[in-house]
A = this chain, B = another copy of it.
């Protein structure tokens, strides 16, 4: 539904149609999104124009991005470490097998 809001500003009724959803369901979603600060609402008369507030999403994006980059480093480091350990483990195993005989 957020994705649909991407295609620009709409009123509540219009949002309900493409999803197989009733109007009250949409209202509920909008209330949640509004409390989460993800959308803005401008009432003009009896119609409510809804639009996405990009700020918090942008913030989330950069936050995740920072973490992802950090994790990528960790990931690669651990990966090479594990490969090295695996190689060593193989040689240890074979030496143990030699001992058994």
Contacts and interface: CB of A to CB of B under 8 A. Distances in A.
B64 A51 contact: no
Chain multiplicity (copies): 2
Interface stretch (A21-29, A55-63, A92-100): A55-63
B58 A65 contact: yes
A80 to B, nearest CB: 13
Contacts of A69: 54, 58
Interface residues of A, number: 25
B75 A64 contact: no
Given A9-B78, A57-B64, 12 more contacts: A6-B67, A9-B74, A42-B82, A51-B71, A52-B71, A52-B74, A53-B71, A57-B71, A58-B65, A58-B69, A61-B61, A61-B64
